[in-house]
Structure 1
Amino acid sequence: MEEESGFVELKTEIHKVDLFNLVNLFQPGYFKDKTSDLGNYYGIYQVKKLVFQTRKEISFWNFIIKEK
């Protein structure tokens, strides 16, 4: 099932294929098949096509500061 439009978390296999294809369209070879498993990715679909992606970064600095 491809998304019609809107902001979604990219977590299904179809989302991951769309993410892989979008990134490799602009940066060939940068993304590998399992790269999307390394974080939480989000995207914007327009008319059943992924047109934007972003990733939620994990902040280790917040963890280190809170532990001290």
Structure 2
Amino acid sequence: MLVITRKKGESVLIGDNIEITISKIDDGTVKIAIDAPREIRILRKELYKEVESENIEATKIDINMIKKFKK
């Protein structure tokens, strides 16, 4: 993991086409702006984890439900 210090208005480049800019620093929070191509998916990690766990739950098979369909 790379840890760097940036001030408001400063940026970080990832590869040739992704730029992350610090747009606001306020009382323990940081607002960032991300400039990236549309085909790059950008998700907040907590949402990604939530969707991932819901997808895992959706794929679990309830044996009792299968037995009901067999009848």
Tell me if both proteins adopt one fold, taking TM over 0.5 as the criterion.
no
Scaled to the shorter chain, the TM-score interval is: under 0.3
Q: What is the TM-score with the length of structure 1 in the denominator?
A: 0.25
User: Which structure has the highest helix share of the two?
Assistant: 1
| Highest RCO, 1 vs 2 (Cα 8 Å, sep ≥ 6) | 1
Structure having the higher Rg: 2
